[in-house]
Amino acid sequence: VEQKPSDRRMLVVDDKANMRELLSGVFEEHGYQVTTASSGEEAIECLLLNEYPIVITDLSMPGKSGIDVLKAAKSVFTDTEVIIITAYGSIERAVEAMRYGAYDFITKPFQLSEIERKIEKIQRKLDMAGSRSIYTSVHPGVQHIVGGSDQTKRMLRMITKIAPTRSSVLISGPSGVGKELVARAIHEAGPRRDYPFVAVNCAALAPSLLESELFGHEKGAFTGAEDKRIGRFERAHLGTLFLDEVSEIEPAIQTKLLRVLQESEIERVGGSDQIKVDVRIVAATNRDLQKAIELGEFREDFYYRLNVFSLNVSALKDRRDDIPSLIDHFLRKYSHELGKDVCEVDDDVVEVFLNYDWPGNVRELENIIERAVVLAEGNTVARNDLPAELLQSVLLKDLHAEDAEPRKVDINNDSLIARTDRLESELIRGALERFRWNKTRAAEHLGLKRTTLQYKIKKYQLD
Ligand SMILES: Nc1ncnc2c1ncn2[C@@H]1O[C@H](COP(=O)(O)OP(=O)(O)OP(=O)(O)O)[C@@H](O)[C@H]1O
Ligand SMILES: [Mg+2]
């Protein structure tokens, strides 16, 4: 896959507006799509949301520093190259930055040509590595959370806030929405990232097995226990233990877990030693735990232990603004995996995706795109590449919706969202008219990806 110049992305981080403007101006001229962040916190949020092969960051900023940005960049995408800008006096910290994997540092004041040269060098290196590295060099299992909806942005902000703590987190939401991905992001964005992330699917094991899986057992603890076994708790020491489908744990084991969480000590099955463990718990459920408590199937005290922070990941149909970036993300992923170059979807495919209810959520969207990339004949996904059932279900929904109110922007509504929507739709209409409905050019002019523009045209019914 050829890296188009528009795919050259860069993140510039500085608390000083003039430095941000200077650098983004220069590198936009060099053909980069530059995103700027005015604090370390904001930068880390951007890094969780998008891939930036190149990051330029100031070292000293109020709050999170350039070193924090560097660590976050390297943990989500190891191939990202980071250049640190530092005042003359803090060279020692710049050296520290090099130890954390910074590509280079530049001391203020600097000549623009100096930083241009360094970026050129990085770009040559990236070009040589090719776009192949984008997916192969990410830590195994680590993937970006993709999305553009307000819900997803809010969730990313939450993740960056809770990642540094060791409090338990309970993630809830229907199947396939990305709960495990969120759990991994919490681990990767925090200080435990260099230690294990250990996942246990609590629904997959019989209760007796789950107990020895979690806590381990001594040799001869029960029939069949021929050897001593280290449990997942011990394996997750200093890291994160992910309890998936936590609602399926038997009350007796819940009691045991509650004690472990209170005392940070475990006892292997059939053993009597207390073993100290330092583990952060992240749990996930697609069941309503409040209801399970009412039914007597889930211990209330255990629930409160787990639920120090709660994150709810909503169904995809309730955050449709994520759909265009997810489409692009999965097109890239499967094009690369399958050695094809399918980079676009037809307008009527966007329309189908927008109207479908996604009972299987992001997982279903991912599967449908994978299938479509296999079937696509050129580099565009056509309606024919979608499963018949999906097309049918959208058609049926249309029929039923015929009498219903059309989904329109209410011009009398004065809320901020309604006003921004109106403004956005006007700007898009203007650009489309100006470029005579050439969507590629209009998208470029608006700084939007083509898929996003297609989506917004449907959303505002501009066609
Ligand atoms: N925001 C997202 N960005 C990119 N990929 C996503 C996103 N959300 C989900 N995915 C992908 O969708 C698939 C399903 O996600 P995941 O396994 O985390 O869902 P889940 O909520 O744990 O589902 P289940 O309840 O069925 O276990 C995964 O391949 C995941 O990488
Ligand atoms: Mg899961």
Cα 215 to ligand 2 centre (Å): 22
Give residue 256's region: left, alpha or beta (phi > 0; psi -120 to 50): alpha
Measured by CA distance, the residue closest to atom 26 of ligand 1 is 175
Cα 204 to ligand 2 centre (Å): 12
pLDDT at residue 84 is higher than 50: yes
Cα 361 to ligand 2 centre (Å): 12
pLDDT digits (tens, 9 = 90+) for 425-461: 888 999 999 999 999 999 988 888 888 899 999 888 8
Cα 283 to ligand 2 centre (Å): 10
Model confidence, pTM: 0.69
pLDDT at residue 408 is higher than 90: no
Q: Which of 280, 298, 278 is nearest to 288 (CA)?
A: 298
CB environment 309-346: b (16+ within 10 A), e (fewer): bebebbbbeebbbbbbbbbbbbbbbbbbeeebbbbbbb
Looking from the CA of residue 366, the nearest atom of ligand 1 is 12
pLDDT digits (tens, 9 = 90+) for 311-361: 999 999 999 999 998 999 999 999 988 999 999 999 989 989 988 999 999
Contact (CB, 8 A) for 391 and 383 = yes
Measured by CA distance, the residue closest to atom 24 of ligand 1 is 175
366 pLDDT band, cuts 50/70/90, is very high
pLDDT digits (tens, 9 = 90+) for 60-70: 999 999 999 99
Contact (CB, 8 A) for 84 and 93 = no
- The percentage of the chain sitting over the pLDDT mark of 90, rounded to a whole number, equals 51
Measured by CA distance, the residue closest to atom 10 of ligand 1 is 178
Cα 232 to ligand 2 centre (Å): 18
pLDDT at residue 159 is higher than 50: yes
User: Rounded to an integer, what distance in angstroms lies between the CA atom of residue 428 and that of residue 354?
Assistant: 18
pLDDT at residue 4 is higher than 60: no
Cα 182 to ligand 2 centre (Å): 10
Looking from the CA of residue 329, the nearest atom of ligand 1 is 4
Q: What residues contact residue 403 under an 8 Å CB cut-off, 6+ apart?
A: none
Cβ of 93: how many Cβ atoms within 10 Å? Answer: 17
Residue 81 phi/psi, 5-degree rounding, is -105, 135
pLDDT at residue 135 is higher than 60: no
**Tokens, residue 77:** 């995408």
Q: What is the 3-state secondary structure (H, E, C) of the chain?
A: CCCCHHHCEEEEECCCHHHHHHHHHHHHHCCCEEEEECCHHHHHHHHHHCCCCEEEEECCCCCCCHHHHHHHHHHHCCCCEEEEEEEHHHHHHHHHHHHCCCCEEEEECCCHHHHHHHHHHHHHHHHHHCCCHHHHCCCCCCCCCCCCCHHHHHHHHHHHHHCCCCCCEEEECCCCCCHHHHHHHHHHCCCCCCCCEEEEECCCCCHHHHHHHHHEECCCCCCCCCCCEECHHHHCCCCEEEEECHHHCCHHHHHHHHHHHHHCEECCECCCCCEECCCEEEEEECCCHHHHHHCCCCCHHHHHHHCCEEEECCCHHHCHHHHHHHHHHHHHHHHHHHCCCCCEECHHHHHHHHHCCCCCHHHHHHHHHHHHHHHCCCCEECHHHCCHHHHHHHHHHHHHHHHCCCCCCCCCCCCHHHHHHHHHHHHHHHHHHHCCCCHHHHHHHHCCCHHHHHHHHHHCCCC
371 pLDDT band, cuts 50/70/90, is very high
Average pLDDT (181-190) is: 90
Indicate if the alpha-carbon torsion angle 357, 360, 362, 367 is positive or negative: negative
Measured by CA distance, the residue closest to atom 12 of ligand 1 is 363
CB environment 404-416: b (16+ within 10 A), e (fewer): eeeeeeeeeeeee
pLDDT of residue 241: 96
**Cis before 109 (ω within 30):** yes
Contact (CB, 8 A) for 19 and 66 = no
Looking from the CA of residue 244, the nearest atom of ligand 1 is 27
Indicate if the alpha-carbon torsion angle 400, 402, 405, 410 is positive or negative: positive
pLDDT of residue 2: 41
Strands 197-201 and 240-244: parallel
Pocket probe for ligand 1: among 366, 367, 369, 370, the residue whose CB has the most ligand atoms within 8 Å is 366
Cα 175 to ligand 1 centre (Å): 8
116 pLDDT band, cuts 50/70/90, is very high
Average pLDDT (262-269) is: 90
**Ligand 1 surroundings by CB, under 6 angstroms:** 143, 145-147, 173, 175-181, 286, 329, 362-363, 366
